Amino acid sequence: MMMNNIIKIIKKNQSFIILPHLKPDGDAIGSSLALAKGLKKMNKNVKIISMDDVPYDVKFLDCEDYLVNSVDMESIDIVFALDSSDIGRLEDRKEFLVKPIVNIDHHKTNTLYGELNLVKEDACATGEIIYNLLNSLKIDIDSDIATDLYTAIASDTGNFMYSNTTAKTHEIAAELITKGIDVAEISMYLYQNIPLNKFKFNTEVLSKVEFYFVSKVALVTISKELKDKYENDNTDSIVESIRNIEGVEVAILIDERKNIAKISMRSKKDIDVSSIALNNGGGGHVNAAGFEVDSGLEAAKKIVIKELGMIYEGIS
């Protein structure tokens, strides 16, 4: 029913903007581009608004004609918000949230802030939902769009490694491959293309990991000073690397930003870090979630350790 309502909205209107979440990842960028290119095939006017640079690992995607940082909202009919669990994930572009919002997402903590909300928490990525939407619109998914969608899905499943990967995920990936995409090239850009300054930054950060609760929890803090040292503000993949350590069940990264500390959490098996995020005004998935606090690194660390103490009570 919701999919049908969105299809009606698309057919009825002409001009759209798409807002991926701030600090966009591969799913946010890939799904936004796929939707934009699909709408373009319907002769719609569409732009993607982002204030952030395109992440280094998805710069290979064809986005030059779609990404802007401003539009005249008088001419816009509908706003699509993609991969954003709550309105705060769009806070840097709140001036564009003045037209009806279509909220498309796969986070179980989504707050349903749109006039229309297509939220499928069983989807592996927002890219999977966009794939289904484009098919429902009977839009031809060419090699370009297929590359965007495959990038979105591969990014959010950890290259098909995480527990959100299903049989349906592989079926979609197989269908996208038949469109002539270059899987090896996509994988090279996503996983074998780290800038040297980020590699050195990652190395120093990982040398500072702290362990708690008999090494079941691993935590690292990143100061603004350290980011300045390496001229790098990209913390992608670090918390996942910490989770990869044998015996670690929960990995925490606390990133010092202007006036706040951003906490990213990853877990293994059935340990639900989204509950911790929700307790602190954030959101996410069972095994990947986050939140922000108005404090310094040490105060943020105490908050996280206290929360984890509820899970690991009695373990020092």
Span 54-65, pLDDT tens digits: 999 999 999 999
* 301 phi-psi bin (left φ>0, alpha ψ -120 to 50, beta other): alpha
Average pLDDT, the chain: 96
* Residues belonging to the chain: 316
Terminal C-alpha separation, the chain: 50
Q: Which amino acid, residue 82?
A: L
At 144, is the pLDDT very low, low, confident or very high (cuts 50, 70, 90)? very high
267 secondary structure, DSSP code: E
* Residue 70, pLDDT score: 95
Closest CA to 312 of 210, 245, 217, 242: 217
Residue 226 in tokens? 């350290």
Buried b (16+ CB within 10 A) or exposed e, 204-218: ebeeebeebbeebbb
In Å, how far are 163, 305, 307 from 270, measured between CA atoms? Answer: 10, 19, 16
* Residue 9, pLDDT score: 98
* The CA-based dihedral angle spanning residues 108, 112, 115, 119, taken in that order and rounded to the nearest 10 degrees: 10
The listed CATH number (3.40.50.170, 3.30.530.20, 3.90.1640.10, 3.20.20.80) that belongs to domain 2-191 = 3.90.1640.10
Q: Domain coordinates of the chain in residue numbers?
A: 2-191, 196-311
Burial class (CB in 10 A: 0-12, 13-18, 19+), 95: exposed
288-312: average pLDDT? 95
The C-alpha atoms of residue 102 and residue 116 are separated, in whole angstroms, by 5
Residue 265 has pLDDT above 90, yes or no: yes
* Residue 121, pLDDT score: 95
Its pTM surpasses 0.85 = yes
Closest CA to 44 of 167, 154, 137: 137
The C-alpha atoms of residue 264 and residue 255 are separated, in whole angstroms, by 8
The listed CATH number (3.40.190.120, 3.30.1360.40, 3.10.310.30, 2.60.120.10) that belongs to domain 196-311 = 3.10.310.30
Residue 314 has pLDDT above 70, yes or no: no
Residue 136 in tokens? 């429902």
* Residues in CB range of 179: below 8 A, 6 or more apart: 141, 142, 143, 145, 146
Could you give the strand order of the β-sheet that contains 67-68, starting from the edge strand earlier in sequence? 67-68, 45-49, 15-20, 78-82, 101-105, 116-119
Residue range 148-202, pLDDT digits in tens? 999 999 999 999 999 999 999 999 999 999 999 999 999 999 999 999 999 999 9
The SS3 call for residue 18 is strand
Residue 13 in tokens? 């209107």
The C-alpha atoms of residue 48 and residue 65 are separated, in whole angstroms, by 9
Task: Give yes or no for a contact between 151 and 18, defined as CB atoms under 8 angstroms apart.
Answer: no
The C-alpha atoms of residue 145 and residue 135 are separated, in whole angstroms, by 12
208 secondary structure, DSSP code: T
Residue 91 in tokens? 């806070």
